[in-house]
Chain A
Amino acid sequence: DVKVTQSSRYLVKRTGEKVFLECVQDMDHENMFWYRQDPGLGLRLIYFSYDVKMKEKGDIPEGYSVSREKKERFSLILESASTNQTSMYLCASRVDSVNYGYTFGSGTRLTVV
């Protein structure tokens, strides 16, 4: 089974801190994604990457950046955490084919205080 591992299940950070969320997949997938999920707003794409060192903005990239130095690892960075970034963050990976879905990590629930 493909495994997508997110480094933390729960995080509490202070406003203004720089926050790193790590995601690692073990199946050599080309594509990796970061979403946030909020009640009533559903899943919203922050950034995605289709190759090492390649990144594309999603629907809500403001306040976030990403890094993909190795194929298996995709990091989400909150440059200066704010309370409106309190959310569930989900990482996903996928084979580069239209007929395959995502495999999601278990999620990181981030609270910014």
Chain B
Amino acid sequence: QKEVEQNSGPLSVPEGAIASLNCTYSDRGSQSFFWYRQYSGKSPELIMFIYSNGDKEDGRFTAQLNKASQYVSLLIRDSQPSDSATYLCAVNRGAAGNKLTFGGGTRVLVKP
């Protein structure tokens, strides 16, 4: 079992709809969770982080964390073509260096 798993997609979403991305993780001791957006040929950029159970909203993005079920999700409301990218889920297990473990990413395509 991979430490952090994501559906690779592509997730095809009509413009204006909600894109829902899921991520599961295997280590119950994981402490914080991050969502990165990566455009083709570019480096990842941080868009959300969450460390408490529940929802966290930032603009059109909402991160949801359920530690009991070991999943974290990202909702993108009013999806725009500019949201077309690969979204990486990352988990901090609190080990030395606070290094992150990344999922393989979900590719999102927003169609006009």
Query: Contact residues of A with B, CB < 8 Å?
Result: 31, 33, 40, 42-43, 45, 48-50, 56, 58, 90, 94, 96-107
> A50 contacts B96, CB within 8 Å?
yes
Which one, A96, A99, A104, contacts B43 given CB within 8 A? A104
> How many inter-chain contacts with C-beta < 8 Å in the A-B complex?
60
With contacts A43-B88, A98-B94, A101-B49 known, is A48 near B44, CB below 8 A?
no
Bound complex: CA A40 to CA B86 (Å)? 12
Would you call B62 an interface residue if the criterion is a C-beta within 8 Å of the partner chain's C-beta atoms? no
Contact status B34-A101, CB under 8 Å: yes
Question: Are A56 and B51 closer than 8 Å at their CB atoms?
Answer: no
Instruction: Say whether B32 faces chain A, with CB atoms less than 8 Å apart.
Output: yes
B96 → chain A closest CB, angstroms: 6
Given known pairs A42-B104, A99-B32, A101-B34, the reply for A50 and B97 (CB within 8 Å) is yes
Asked if B42 CB lies within 8 Å of chain A CBs, one says: yes
Residue of A nearest to B100 (CB): A102
Q: Does B80 contact A (CB under 8 A)?
A: no
Q: Which residues of A contact B57 (CB under 8 A)?
A: none
> How many residues belonging to B are interface residues under a CB distance threshold of 8 Å?
24
Q: Is B82 an interface residue, CB under 8 A from the partner? A: no
A-B contact pairs, 29 of them (CB 8 A): A31-B97, A31-B98, A40-B104, A42-B88, A43-B44, A48-B97, A48-B99, A50-B96, A50-B97, A56-B96, A58-B99, A94-B98, A96-B98, A98-B31, A98-B92, A98-B94, A98-B98, A99-B32, A99-B49, A99-B51, A101-B36, A101-B90, A102-B90, A102-B100, A104-B45, A105-B43, A106-B42, A107-B42, A107-B43
**A102 to B43 Cα, complex, angstroms:** 11
Q: Separation in Å of the A39 CB from the closest CB of chain B? A: 10
